[in-house]
């Protein structure tokens, strides 16, 4: 359990947060640049002191202004993976990894070997940080934080400084940490695709305040949070399980409460759980079941809510197709189709619009098969 | 012709001994003060900074004279040291060490301070999150990363000591075998009839010594830089 209550002002900016989240899984702090995410993480780590509040991880109180408790960073036992890696330039990779290790016995050596293998950095041990690529540096930084045997891992946009190829290189490792080591993680990001892929719980931060806390699917389907989750990126997250594969056509069928969703072939066995993010702009609306169209995914549903767009040219619709789904249509279509809440519609989703950036494996066997829009 | 005379060897050995101890003695103080100036805000910081730099701007003879007043047999510090520990500073090689340490101190502190200020403090924060307390962070992260500045500062103090003249001659005089370092011996020879040849030899010797120190420090600095991965 991660409990955070913290306040602090810096000139015109003020941070004032109060939330609790189950720390048994990956918690994402999501928000735009400048929302106060890094500041909050630094407060957790003890690098910045809140002017008032209380911070506890798994029952251990790290900070409590009322009780006069303020553990220094070295006694908080939180592993911190920084955006820029921050490897020690004067140590080898091995020296960096060993820096935070508390013990040097046989068990510690096994732990070292295990994590080195998990991160695939065996070949780098004797190198200097300057001889590593950006992705390798981040893997070493993750290993260094893990080997300090932390209660919680903090990752502050660990992929932000990397190009797309390096990001794709690291993401599977972070997934493996989440799934194999089961160390609670707080993951800071402003990139939706990372959040969808990794997070179980989302803490939405905006302007120094917590706007929402909850399971990923729930937070992402809330229309009122759309300005915060991002306009272009807006979309719903569906919790699905892999049903079958059609190798001839290169498609996979995913089962979710609204039916079967066909997507380009995913490399997961049937039964595997998979989260799919469907952007609002990839969903079209029809009043009657369309015929002779290329779109494979057609779901019958009803409009729950309509959201005005400030520009007036587009309208976002929240649909219930057995699960919450967003659609974005032009204001003209909205008018001409006379779309109103309660109206029955057909939602059309292009299979090819769902690429691998929209897919994420759920970390814990915690899956909401009853996504009935109760979050709204 | 190439062999050194006993007098030259004496002056050279004394110079090296004084310069060596000058660096050893002033380094801890230099690191402490540089750290204070680089990392802490305190009342009188500007005054301390100014005082350290005084030897750069006032005549070395004045520094020597002040030291004589302080460390002389009847001076406050000299009297205390003589009574408490039986140590005499004035007119001994120890006094020569102090004189050159004071003269080289501004250079030493400045080099270390600049290097400390260049240390990426985010690395220190990272070390803290890995369980290292402030002292361990200083010893394993801050100090190693300051090494280039430490080396530069030490070399400057060493070189300054080799060349120190005014403060030394005023404070500890020019006693052969005790305080007559290379520059003092050179000065003595230049004041002696028929001393020109001997003086020239000492000039060449000083030059070679300085060159050796610079080459050695360049070599060291490069190796350190390499180790730091910069």
What would the pLDDT profile of A282-341 be if each residue is shown by its tens digit?
898 888 888 888 888 999 999 988 876 556 788 888 888 888 888 888 888 888 888 888
For an interface test with A, which of B118, B127, B131 has the most A Cβ atoms less than 10 Å from its Cβ?
B131
Of A258, A241, A226, nearest to A323 (Cα)? A258
pLDDT score of B55:
92
pLDDT at A89 over 90: yes
Q: How confident is the model at residue A274 (pLDDT cuts 50, 70, 90)?
A: confident
Average pLDDT over residues A256-276: 86
Pull the structure tokens for residue A78: 């939180």
| Alpha-carbon dihedral sign for residues A237, A238, A244, A246 | negative
DSSP element (H, E) containing A17: strand A13-21
Q: How confident is the model over B49-73, as a mean pLDDT?
A: 92
Task: Determine, for residues A88 and B227 on separate chains, whether the beta-carbon distance falls below 8 Å.
Answer: no
**B128 has a chain A CB within 8 A of its CB:** yes
pLDDT of residue A375: 32
State the pTM of this model.
Answer: 0.78
Q: What pLDDT, on the 0 to 100 scale, is given for residue B69?
A: 92
Evaluate if residue A361 carries a pLDDT over 60: yes
Note the pLDDT of residue A233.
65
The β-bridge relationship of strands A78-81 and A185-189 is: unpaired
For chain B, give the mean pLDDT: 90
Q: Rounded to the nearest 10 degrees, how much is the dihedral formed by the CA atoms of A46, A52, A53, A57?
A: 10
Distance CA B217, CA A299 (A): 76
Counting residues of chain A whose pLDDT is more than 90, the rounded percentage is: 31
pLDDT of res. A368: 33
Question: What are the pLDDT digits (tens) for B163-196?
Answer: 999 999 999 999 988 999 999 999 999 898 888 8
Per-residue model confidence (pLDDT) at position A290? 85
Of B205, B90, B118, B213, nearest to B158 (Cα)? B213
Q: Domains in chain A, ordered, with CATH? A: 2-220 (3.40.50.300), 235-361 (2.40.50.100)
Query: What is the complex's ipTM, to 2 decimals?
Result: 0.81
Sign for the pseudo-dihedral over CA of B99, B105, B107, B108: positive
- Give the pLDDT of residue A106: 87
B150 to chain A, any CB pair closer than 8 A? The answer is no
DSSP-assigned states of every residue in A110-136: HHHHHHHHHHT-GGGTTS-GGGS-HHH
pLDDT value for A226: 67
Looking at residue A293, its pLDDT comes to 84
Helices and strands counted in chain B (H then E) = 11, 0
What average pLDDT does this structure show over B51-78? Answer: 91
Give residue for tokens 């460390």.
B71
Q: From the CA of B221, how many Å to the nearest CA of chain A?
A: 14
- Higher model confidence: residue B59 or residue B89? B59
Q: How far apart are CA A372 and CA A370, in angstroms?
A: 6
Q: Is the pLDDT of residue A366 over 70?
A: no
Token pair belonging to A224: 């009122």
Out of A42-56, A161-175, A304-318, least confident range: A304-318
pLDDT of residue B230: 52
Question: How sure is the predictor about B119, in pLDDT bands with cuts at 50, 70 and 90?
Answer: very high
As a residue count, chain A comes to 376
**CB-CB contact of A92 with A128 (8 Å):** yes
pLDDT at B122 over 90: yes
CA dist A31 and A93 (Å) reads: 32
Could you give the CA distance from residue A179 to residue A194 in angstroms, rounded to a whole number?
16
Best mutation target, A39, A88, A156, A186, to test chain B (most B CBs within 10 A): A88
Q: How far is A89 from chain B (nearest CA, A)?
A: 5
Q: Which residues of B touch A100 (CB under 8 A)?
A: 130-132
Predicted pLDDT of residue A58: 86
- Work out the pLDDT band at A364, boundaries 50, 70, 90: very low
**Distance separating alpha carbons of residues A51 and A15, to the nearest angstrom:** 10
Question: Of A149, A27, A34, A129, which is closest to residue A86 (Cα–Cα)?
Answer: A129
Mean pLDDT of the residues in chain A = 85
**Per-residue pLDDT averaged across A196-213, rounded?**
88
pLDDT average, residue stretch A89-112: 90
User: Is B141 close to A88, i.e. CB distance below 8 A?
Assistant: yes
pLDDT score of A73 more than 90: yes
pLDDT-based confidence at residue A239 (cuts at 50, 70, 90) = confident
Confidence at residue B102, expressed as pLDDT on a 0 to 100 scale: 95
Q: Identify the sign of the CA torsion A28, A32, A35, A38.
A: positive
- Name the pLDDT band for A235 (thresholds 50, 70, 90): confident
Cβ contact A214:A202 at 8 Å: yes
Quick check: A342 contacting B, CB < 8 Å? no
**C-alpha to C-alpha distance for A51 and A72, rounded to whole angstroms:** 15
Tokens of A179: 């799934």
Give the per-residue pLDDT at B32: 94
Mean local confidence (pLDDT), A116-132:
91
Residue A82 has pLDDT above 70, yes or no: yes
**Is the pLDDT score of B211 beyond 60?**
yes
Q: Is the confidence at residue B228, as pLDDT, over 80?
A: no
Query: Residue A43 has what pLDDT?
Result: 94
Q: Choose among A25, A33, A46, A27: nearest CA to A160.
A: A33
How far apart (Å, rounded) are the C-alpha atoms in residues A179 and A364?
7
Partners of residue B132 in chain A, C-beta under 8 Å: 74, 99-100
Residue to mutate among B118, B121, B126, with most A CBs inside 10 A, is B126
């Amino acid at each position: 359990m991660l409990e955070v209550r913290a306040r602090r002002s810096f000139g015109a900016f003020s941070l004032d947060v109060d939330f609790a989240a189950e720390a048994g899984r990956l918690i994402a702090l999501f928000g735009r640049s400048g929302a106060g995410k890094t500041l909050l993480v630094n407060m957790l780590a003890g690098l910045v002191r809140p002017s008032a509040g209380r911070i506890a991880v798994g029952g251990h109180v790290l900070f409590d202004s009322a009780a006069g408790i303020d553990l220094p960073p070295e006694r908080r036992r939180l592993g911190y993976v920084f955006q820029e890696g921050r490897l020690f330039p004067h140590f080898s990779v091995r020296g960096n990894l060993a820096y935070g290790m508390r013990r040097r016995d046989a068990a510690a050596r096994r732990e070292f070997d295990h994590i080195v293998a998990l991160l695939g950095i065996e070949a780098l041990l004797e190198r200097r940080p300057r001889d590593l690529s950006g992705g390798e540096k981040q893997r070493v930084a993750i290993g260094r934080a893990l080997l300090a045997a932390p209660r919680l891992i903090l990752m502050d946009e660990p992929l932000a400084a990397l190009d797309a190829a390096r990001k794709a290189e690291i993401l599977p490792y972070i997934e493996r940490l989440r799934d194999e080591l089961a160390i609670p993680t707080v993951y800071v990001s402003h990139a939706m695709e990372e959040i969808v892929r990794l997070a179980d719980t989302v803490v939405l931060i905006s302007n120094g305040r917590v706007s929402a806390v909850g399971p990923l699917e729930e937070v992402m389907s809330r229309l009122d949070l759309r300005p915060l989750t991002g306009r272009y990126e807006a979309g719903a997250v569906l919790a699905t399980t892999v049903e079958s594969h059609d190798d001839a056509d290169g498609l996979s069928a995913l089962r979710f409460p609204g039916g079967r969703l066909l997507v380009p072939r995913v490399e997961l066995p049937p039964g595997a759980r998979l989260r799919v993010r469907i952007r609002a702009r990839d969903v079209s609306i029809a009043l009657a079941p369309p015929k002779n169209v290329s779109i494979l995914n057609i779901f019958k549903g009803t409009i729950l809510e309509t959201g005005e767009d400030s520009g007036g040219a587009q309208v976002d619709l929240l649909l219930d197709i057995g699960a919450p789904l967003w659609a974005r249509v032009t204001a003209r279509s909205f008018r001409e189709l006379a779309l109103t809440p309660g109206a029955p519609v057909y939602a059309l989703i292009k299979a090819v619009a769902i690429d691998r950036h929209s897919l994420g494996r759920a970390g814990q066997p915690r899956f909401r098969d009853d996504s009935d829009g109760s979050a709204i | 012709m190439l062999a050194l005379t006993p007098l030259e060897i004496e002056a050279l050995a004394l110079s090296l001994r004084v310069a060596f101890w000058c660096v050893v003695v002033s380094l801890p103080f230099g690191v402490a003060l540089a750290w204070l100036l680089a990392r802490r805000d305190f009342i009188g910081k500007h005054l301390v900074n100014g005082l350290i730099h005084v030897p750069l701007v006032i005549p070395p003879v004045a520094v020597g004279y002040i030291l004589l007043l302080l460390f002389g047999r009847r001076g406050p510090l000299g009297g205390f040291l003589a009574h408490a520990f039986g140590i005499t500073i004035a007119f001994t090689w120890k006094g020569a060490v102090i004189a050159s340490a004071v003269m080289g101190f501004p250079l030493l502190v400045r080099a270390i301070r600049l290097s400390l200020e260049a240390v990426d403090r985010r690395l220190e924060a990272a070390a803290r999150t890995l369980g290292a307390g402030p002292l361990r962070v200083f010893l394993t992260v801050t100090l190693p990363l300051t090494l280039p500045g430490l080396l530069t500062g030490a070399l400057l103090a060493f070189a300054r000591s080799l060349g120190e003249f005014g403060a030394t001659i005023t404070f500890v005089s020019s006693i052969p075998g005790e305080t007559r370092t290379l520059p003092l011996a050179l000065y003595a020879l230049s004041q002696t009839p028929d001393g020109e040849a001997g003086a020239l030899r000492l000039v060449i010797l000083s030059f070679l010594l300085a060159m050796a120190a610079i080459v050695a420090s360049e070599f060291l600095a490069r190796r350190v830089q390499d180790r730091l991965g910069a």
